[in-house]
Amino acid sequence: MSSIVALRNFFLRVGFRIIRPLIFLMEPEQAHSSLKRVGVFLGNNFFLRKFTGLLFNYDHPSLNTTVNGINYRNPIGLSAGFDKDGELTKIYPHLGFGLAELGSFTGEICPGNPGKRLFRMKKSKSIVVWYGLNNEGSEKISQRLSGEEFGNLRVGINAALTNLTPEFILEDAIADYLKTMKLFKDIGDYYDVNISCPNTQEGEPFVDKQNLNALLTAINKEIRPISEKPIYVKLAADMTIDEINIIVDACVEHKMDGVVCTNLAKPQYNTEHIPEEYPTVDGRLPEGKGAMSGLPLQRISTNVIRHVYRRTRGKLTIIGVGGIFSAKDAYEKITSGASLCHMITAMIFDGPQSMSEINRGLVKLLKADGFNSISEAVGSRNPLPKERTDKLQKPRAA
Ligand SMILES: Cc1cc2nc3c(=O)[nH]c(=O)nc-3n(C[C@H](O)[C@H](O)[C@H](O)COP(=O)(O)O)c2cc1C
């Protein structure tokens, strides 16, 4: 069976390589909308869903994993930002995803940034994003998704701050997050609080300790009593160790369930891409704007995962995201401490068979290391340092 799937994936990969230049002839945002329309079309028909499953699905018992009480059929998920209005949930399980994070959804309708907002960096295997959280707003989207059955797909609700004004008012910002989280209280399986979008007018105000404490306190007061869903917080890629520590320590202190590592990387802090490819260089994007997905993020996000896992001694669940193109990449994030993975860019550059290739490869990697499940592999190559008591030994009386 496994060799049939391998052969199928080989032909799909070759097929995608042939049609990719045609897809890349389209403007990236136009390609994104067209592919979403195809996904909605396939998802709306029973036979097309089954046919898609024959082409792309893959299951194996060792991929089954339970995280914060939620059972996932496999640990590979779609990351936030591909399905900003939550329109494609019917097709994801047939494409091989175990989970899909929808959004980011914001409290108010958000048109996003003006102008050209998506760019490909082919040599760097990266997408430059300058969307600015465009979405239809949490009221409309939650109404549409209310009562929808997601079957064996687990769904994350990514809540972000509406990007409409350059002015930051803490109380309004908190109310915006809470509005989305309340509207989605009965939809999906977990929340992801996105405090790290690099493309908004206000920057990242919740990297500030006091602001973050206020947000997490409000979430605990207003969301915990109405929803049992695990709550994760999405971290930025470009933080200093001190900034990461402030956020993860606050997450532990406020009993958040975990963190998502990481969001997009800003080019000014990054040496992992080919600078000449960045769209500000030839004026396609204004200076200082946009941030990168894919390969330039791969090592950075894995390093953040490694640090967070050690810092929190595994107390926070980690969802690993950034530059996962192969099973090896996903396994590196898992063995560094991630319990689940997200991805987008691999689908764009390598095709929609990537999820099944990654899942199939994970089964082999687990077996090679003698593990029976994903949870056994989590953090296995990132051993925790011995706990320090920090107690001074009393000097013995002479
Ligand atoms: C087109 C695009 C839009 C994105 N929009 C969002 C978003 O709205 N909210 C969010 O939390 N992350 C967003 N991201 C970041 C992704 O969720 C993810 O963290 C990042 O792309 C790294 O994963 P990848 O290398 O597999 O693409 C976006 C990424 C892309 C490529």
CATH of the domain at 313: 3.20.20.70
Ligand 1 pocket check for 359: Cβ under 6 Å:
no
Q: Which two tokens stand for residue 309?
A: 């896992």
Chain centre distance of CA 367: 26
Q: What is the mean pLDDT of residues 78-87?
A: 97
Q: Is 180 inside a domain boundary?
A: yes
Atom of ligand 1 nearest to the CA of 298: 25
Contact indicator for 318, 305 with CB cutoff of 8 Å: yes
Q: Is 310 inside a domain boundary?
A: yes
Atom of ligand 1 nearest to the CA of 324: 26
Question: Which residue is it, tokens 């047939």?
Answer: 94
Q: 291 alpha carbon to ligand 1 midpoint, in Å?
A: 10
Instruction: Give dist(CA 337, CA 316) in Å, integer.
Output: 10
SS3 state of residue 103: strand
Ligand 1 pocket check for 323: Cβ under 6 Å:
yes
**pLDDT of res. 391:** 53
SS3 state of residue 120: strand
Atom of ligand 1 nearest to the CA of 126: 25
Best probe residue, ligand 1, of 79, 130, 192, 321 (max atoms within 8 Å of C-beta): 79
Q: pLDDT tens, 361-372?
A: 999 999 999 999
Q: pLDDT tens, 145-169?
A: 999 999 999 999 999 999 888 888 9
215-220 long-range Cβ contacts below 8 angstroms, 24+ apart: 215/173, 215/174, 215/177, 216/250, 216/251, 216/254, 216/256, 217/254, 218/174, 218/177, 218/178, 219/177, 219/178, 219/181, 219/193, 219/254, 220/254, 220/255
SS (H, E, C) 163-182: CCCCCCCHHHHHHHHHHHHH
In the chain the beta strands, taken as DSSP E runs, fall at 65-67, 70-72, 76-78, 99-106, 118-121, 126-129, 154-160, 190-194, 231-235, 258-261, 291-292, 317-321, 340-343
Q: Is 388 inside a domain boundary?
A: no
**In which band, very low, low, confident or very high, does the pLDDT at 198 lie, cut at 50, 70 and 90?**
confident
Q: pLDDT tens, 261-302?
A: 999 999 988 889 999 999 999 989 999 899 999 999 999 999
C-beta atoms surrounding 388 within 10 Å = 6
Ligand 1 pocket check for 230: Cβ under 6 Å:
no
Q: What is the chain's percent helix, strand, coil content, to nearest 5? A: 40, 15, 45
Structural domains of the chain, count: 1
Atom of ligand 1 nearest to the CA of 192: 11
Q: Is 209 inside a domain boundary?
A: yes
In this predicted structure, the answer to whether residue 192 has a pLDDT above a threshold of 60 is yes
**pLDDT of res. 397:** 42
SS3 state of residue 17: helix
**pLDDT of res. 347:** 97
Contact indicator for 105, 137 with CB cutoff of 8 Å: yes
Whose C-alpha lies nearest to ligand 1, atom 13? 81
Best probe residue, ligand 1, of 293, 298, 302, 354 (max atoms within 8 Å of C-beta): 293
In this predicted structure, the answer to whether residue 395 has a pLDDT above a threshold of 60 is no
Per the DSSP assignment, residues forming a β-bridge with 65 are 72
Atom of ligand 1 nearest to the CA of 133: 8
Q: How deeply is 303 buried, as exposed, middle or buried, from its count of CB atoms within 10 A (0-12, 13-18, 19+)?
A: middle
In this predicted structure, the answer to whether residue 194 has a pLDDT above a threshold of 70 is yes
Best probe residue, ligand 1, of 344, 347, 348 (max atoms within 8 Å of C-beta): 344
Q: pLDDT tens, 208-250?
A: 999 999 999 999 999 999 999 999 999 999 999 999 999 999 9
Contact indicator for 131, 285 with CB cutoff of 8 Å: no
Per the DSSP assignment, residues forming a β-bridge with 194 are 234
Q: 106 alpha carbon to ligand 1 midpoint, in Å?
A: 15
**pLDDT of res. 163:** 85
Question: Which residue is it, tokens 């496999």?
Answer: 74
C-beta atoms surrounding 130 within 10 Å = 24
In this predicted structure, the answer to whether residue 94 has a pLDDT above a threshold of 90 is yes
Q: What is the mean pLDDT of residues 293-315?
A: 96
pTM of the entire predicted model? 0.95
Angle made by CA atoms 214, 215, 216, in degrees to the nearest 5: 95
Whose C-alpha lies nearest to ligand 1, atom 29? 81
Ligand 1 pocket check for 260: Cβ under 6 Å:
no
Q: Is 134 inside a domain boundary?
A: yes
Atom of ligand 1 nearest to the CA of 342: 26
**In which band, very low, low, confident or very high, does the pLDDT at 199 lie, cut at 50, 70 and 90?**
confident
All residues at 6 or more sequence positions from 308 whose CB lies less than 8 Å from its CB, including other chains: 235, 244, 248, 259, 261, 316, 318, 337
Q: Is 382 inside a domain boundary?
A: no
Contact indicator for 52, 91 with CB cutoff of 8 Å: yes
Q: Is 81 inside a domain boundary?
A: yes
Contact indicator for 74, 359 with CB cutoff of 8 Å: yes
**pLDDT of res. 390:** 55
Instruction: Give dist(CA 103, CA 112) in Å, integer.
Output: 13
Instruction: Give dist(CA 323, CA 40) in Å, integer.
Output: 26
Dihedral angle sign, alpha carbons of residues 111, 115, 120, 121: negative
Domain range enclosing 278: 2-377
Q: 79 alpha carbon to ligand 1 midpoint, in Å?
A: 6
